Amino acid sequence: MSDEPNLFSAPATQSRGKAIPDRVRETGHDTSGHRSRLRQRLLDGGDDALADHEVIEYLLMTAIPQKDVKPLARVLIQKFGSLAAIFNAEPHALMQVSGIKETAAASLKIAGIAARRLAQTTMRADSVLSNWQALIDYLHIDMAHLTHERVRVLYLNVQNRLLLDQVVSDGTLDESAIYTREIIAKAMAIGAAALILVHNHPSGSPQPSKADIQVTQKIMEAGRHLGIVVHDHVIIGREGHVSLKAKGVI
């Protein structure tokens, strides 16, 4: 028999016919055990078990298993400013960061989708007016970190349960058109008894402008003649939110 090595044999460093254990697959080349400790803290702790950059790190670990992703997680937090901003970022924006490819961008995007759907489900569970904090949480997740102005209308039935959550306009950096006739016509078409106006301020401050107050009063007046109540106009910003009803405008 020839003493030449079999060119088709498995490498000596790999066990023939054995699958890679899940522990090795999850930890990659993490000889320090950092990933295992991070995972254990996540499983054993509460919502605050991991810092924001560690949440991002854990998501990246599943997408980039053979690399230390802690520095990359910190870069993302520094660039986008917060956990929510990362989850709301467009994939192409995420992939501008060196080291973030499609798989990693998808892992971050799906986390944002899951957060928004969970918040929306909670918000829809009861009367919007009696579940106000859930509504504010949902709006913050979806709108607080947008870089353009978005206007949405929440159409409610007579029990103040949500009939329709409609984005009526996506505008430029600091303005978005609100068409009174279209908003009221939609309310009539779907049998809405009331509505809540919502828009965000990309500048960060949720304080209402003179134009915000004027358009609110215009829609209120149009709705009044047709029996449609405007419960509120909520302005969302990174610094918080403002209710025009709470301010006495409505």
The backbone region for 87, taken as left when phi is positive above 0, alpha when psi lies in -120 to 50, beta otherwise, is alpha
Residue 16 has pLDDT above 70, yes or no: no
pLDDT in the model for residue 29? 55
3-state secondary structure of 1: coil
**Topology of 131-243 in CATH?**
Cytidine Deaminase; domain 2 (3.40.140)
Mean pLDDT within 103-113: 94
Distance, CA of 190 to CA of 186 (rounded, Å): 6
Lowest mean pLDDT among 116-125, 129-138, 207-216, 225-234: 116-125
Torsions phi, psi for 223 (to 5 deg):
-70, -35
**34 pLDDT tier (thresholds 50, 70, 90):** confident
Q: How far apart are CA 232 and CA 135, in angstroms?
A: 12
In the chain, list all ranges with CATH 3.40.140.10.
Answer: 131-243
